[in-house]
Amino acid sequence: MTLIDSLPSDAALCAIIDSQMHLEGPLLPILHALQAAIGHVPEAALPLIAQRLNITRAEVHGVMTFYHDFRETPAGRHVVKICRAEACKAMGADQLADHARARLGVDWHGTTADGAVTLEPIYCLGLCACAPAVMVDGQGQNRLMGRVSPAAFDALLAEVAG
């Protein structure tokens, strides 16, 4: 599925929603399908999902916000995820996160003003032996980096967003 440039119509949203309705427990597949198609789950989709599944909009919102990977707004051109789980914290992930937020001028889930980078936390990338770990982008373009110092983070940023 390709990313849709502008916000789709209700009919387009319903088509995406309906494509997942045959699945058992379709709510998560619907949210994934919307994000894959649009790059985020637009607010306008929530009442449509609720109506289709005969649940409340609050229930849809609750599930969406429980899973940190679902976005309410479009991400930047690159997504940088810093691991915040225990092994990385023990090896300086908090200091790296402070550096990243200051360097980018955004908080978690924020996107830089030029739209280049969205910063997100993640909880274990499976690279615990090489903490602190960072992942850039995703969905087929994942790039994992370990033992990321603030200087290495800056170099990574210059490479991906430069």
Q: Which residues lie near ligand FES (CB under 6 A)?
A: 83, 85-88, 124-128, 131, 133
Helix axes 93-104, 150-161, angle to 10 degrees: 40
In the complex, the smallest distance separating the C-beta of residue 92 from ligand FES, rounded to whole angstroms, is: 11
Q: Which is nearer to ligand FES, 12 or 87 (CB)?
A: 87
Other Cβ atoms less than 10 A from the Cβ of 153: the count is 21
Q: Which is nearer to ligand FES, 87 or 160 (CB)?
A: 87
d(CA 112, CA 119): 8
Interacting residues of 130 by C-beta distance below 8 A, sequence separation 6+: 146, 147
In the complex, the smallest distance separating the C-beta of residue 87 from ligand FES, rounded to whole angstroms, is: 4
In the complex, the smallest distance separating the C-beta of residue 132 from ligand FES, rounded to whole angstroms, is: 7
Length of the chain, please? 162
In the complex, the smallest distance separating the C-beta of residue 139 from ligand FES, rounded to whole angstroms, is: 19
Q: Which is nearer to ligand FES, 29 or 92 (CB)?
A: 92
Interacting residues of 42 by C-beta distance below 8 A, sequence separation 6+: 7, 8, 13, 34, 72
The answer to whether 38 touches 73, Cβ cutoff 8 Å, is: no
Q: Which is nearer to ligand FES, 7 or 124 (CB)?
A: 124
